[in-house]
Amino acid sequence: MLILCNYYVTYRCNADCEFCHFGYSSDLNKTAFAKEEDVFNNLRQIRKLGVKFIDFTGGEPLLHKSIHLFVEEARKLRMQTSITTNCLLYPKFAEKLAGKVNLLHFSLDSPDEEEHNRIRRINCYNHVIESIKIAKSIGEFPDILFTVTNETYKKLPAMYELARKYELILIVNPVFSYFGNLGLSEETLDFIEEFCYGKKDIYINPAFIELRRKGGNDINAPLCKAVSRVIVISPYNEIILPCYHFGFKKIPIDRPIVEIRKSAEVEYFKKMEGRFDFCKGCTINCYFEPSFAFPTNYFAFISVPSKFYYSFHKLIKQKFLKLNNKFQV
């Protein structure tokens, strides 16, 4: 059952983060942008296939000049939208995106300006703070997304206080082992778990922690649903299988997507999801979040309370804050 689309509108980025393979120094920074006509056509098709959530991603998604049109169209099709941005371009798009992005995430890697800029390899800390203020001034409540590493985990308390200062949720995003990154140590996992337990306005999926403690995906008893629940589309109008991060099959969207999804190639990848050799030990968050969407196993069950609280905050508490702010004006 498809529930999520990870739509890469570009592979380009205007930052060069230490833990990421996108960036202005990468060869990916010379790649294309998704064509508007392709995106609009694909959005209509994937909605008919059951997709309810769409993450417009990259690279830096706000580098695409039509990003506001994409989220607008997705909302018209009754899909929940999400964007994660480094905020360098958010002030330019703030008004155009207002009210159209369900889950707007602002990436912040440290509460310390110098450290954040060093990790991003560009001076963007002040852009994040400015963007938070702009967003709140127009009635938006972005989340602060903190990608935790073994070098930054002790900054978690200060990050939490910064988020509370602006009445925002702090999303704790454990870095995953990929492109030479060794993942998180037991000490880091313990610290994250102990600090986040029972705190308000902080979101961490406990299944992510447990998955890492158990060594990641087991190819003999796979937990990954990266093919059956997720569709990944590239800027070149291709479906990537089994996932972006380990994609070795690219299928051009030169026929209806429903036909591609029923093809023998896709059926093979569904059968093999989580079972390839490269799937061993995988902890990539953007595929395990939808994999744990339904309470069908232990990891999915322990995800439920945190997902419920986060949804409550986004749907109810922040609406109350908007109304309260409206009456105070």
What average pLDDT does range 228-232 have in this prediction?
A: 98
DSSP string, 198-258: T-TTEE--HHHHHHHHTTS--TTS----TTTSEEEE-TTSEEEES-STT--EEEE--S-HH
- Joined together, the tokens standing for residue 319 give 């609406």
What average pLDDT does range 97-109 have in this prediction?
A: 96
Which of 10-14, 95-99, 140-144, 318-322 shows the lowest per-residue confidence on average (mean pLDDT)?
Answer: 318-322
pLDDT at 6 over 80: yes
| Average pLDDT along the chain | 91
pLDDT, tens only, 149-202: 999 999 999 999 999 999 999 999 998 865 444 579 999 999 999 999 989 899
Is the Cβ–Cβ distance between 77 and 42 less than 8 Å? no
What average pLDDT does range 303-318 have in this prediction?
A: 83
Tell me the pLDDT band of 75, cut-offs 50, 70 and 90: very high
Is the Cβ–Cβ distance between 50 and 1 less than 8 Å? yes
Say which DSSP state 166 is in. Answer: T
Alpha-carbon distance values, 198 to 146, 149, 321 (Å): 18, 22, 22
pLDDT at 17 over 80: no
Question: What is Dmax (Cα atoms) for the chain?
Answer: 59
Q: Which domains does the chain have, with CATH numbers?
A: 4-328 (3.20.20.70)
pLDDT, tens only, 254-276: 999 999 999 999 999 999 999 99
Alpha-helix residue ranges (DSSP H) falling in 21-101: 36-48, 67-76, 90-97
Q: How confident is the model at residue 19, as a pLDDT?
A: 67
